[in-house]
Homo-oligomer: A and B are copies of this chain.
Amino acid sequence: MSLPHAILTALLEKPSSGLELTRRFDRSIGYFWSATHQQIYRELGKLEKAGFIRALPTDSPTRGRRKEYEVLVPGREELGRWVGEREEPRALRDPLMLRLRAAGVVGVGDDLVEELRRHRELHSARLAEYREFQRRDAERGHGTERDRVQALVLQGGIDLERFWVNWLEGALADLAGPAPAPGAAAPGASPPTTP
């Protein structure tokens, strides 16, 4: 149950409309918690009904109309409670590693190697982007706890991207190196499982 709390955090950092939140979830917050606009609108509805947030009062109807939300006291309290909770680290779920493992059984094809390269580039680009954010943040210095914490989280994002780039680099080197069978890549080594 993290999405509502992600939204509360975002709204506390800066009151926003649904679309604005969506945009922010594509940037800073989205680096470690992604969400589609649908999820966000739905959750905003629930949070409002629960009395955790409210839409800034406005005249006229709301449909198709920008609606800005702010966090109410109970919302802030709920967030504080949640921050102190105990929760197990969530089990990793990564399709790329899974595909690599599958390739160990059915054979590593050129497509997969290409895909590994592509991912390396993507992660590399993101790493550069994050580094740029870090550079800009550094100029303003981190005085408040909030600044320091955000810097920590950003550092986490950077380290994580670095992990991916390094690991993919190693994987590509390993796959290209030890078995450069001339001609085409060797398909599965064992005969079909089924008679």
Q: Indicate how many identical chains form the complex.
A: 2
Q: Smallest distance from the beta carbon of A142 to chain B beta carbons, Å? A: 9
A109 close to B (CB within 8 Å):
yes
Contact of A102 among B9, B164, B178 (CB under 8 A): B9
A93–B93 alpha-carbon span in the complex (Å): 10
In the complex the two chains form, is A84's CB within 8 Å of B109's CB? Answer: yes
Q: Which of A40-48, A59-67, A129-137, A167-175 lines the interface with chain B? A: A167-175
Kindly identify, within residues 147 to 195 of chain A, every residue whose CB is under 8 Å from any CB belonging to chain B: 147-150, 152-153, 155-156, 159-160, 163-164, 166-167, 170-171, 174-175, 178-179, 186, 188-189, 192-194
In the complex the two chains form, is A8's CB within 8 Å of B83's CB? Answer: no
In the complex the two chains form, is A90's CB within 8 Å of B93's CB? Answer: yes
* Among A72, A90, A102, A123, residue most surrounded by chain B Cβ atoms (within 10 Å): A102
In the complex the two chains form, is A192's CB within 8 Å of B76's CB? Answer: yes
In the complex the two chains form, is B94's CB within 8 Å of A32's CB? Answer: yes
| Interface size range of chain A in the complex | 35 or more
Q: Smallest distance from the beta carbon of A125 to chain B beta carbons, Å? A: 11
* Among A29, A31, A92, residue most surrounded by chain B Cβ atoms (within 10 Å): A92
Chain B residues within 8 Å of A55, by CB? none
Offer 8 A-B interface pairs, CB within 8 angstroms, sorted by A: A15-B193, A34-B93, A71-B194, A84-B112, A88-B122, A89-B123, A90-B94, A104-B153
Using A70-B194, A82-B99, A104-B150 as known contacts, list a sample of 6 further A-B pairs with CB atoms less than 8 Å apart, ordered by residue number in A.
A12-B106, A34-B92, A34-B93, A76-B192, A83-B111, A104-B145
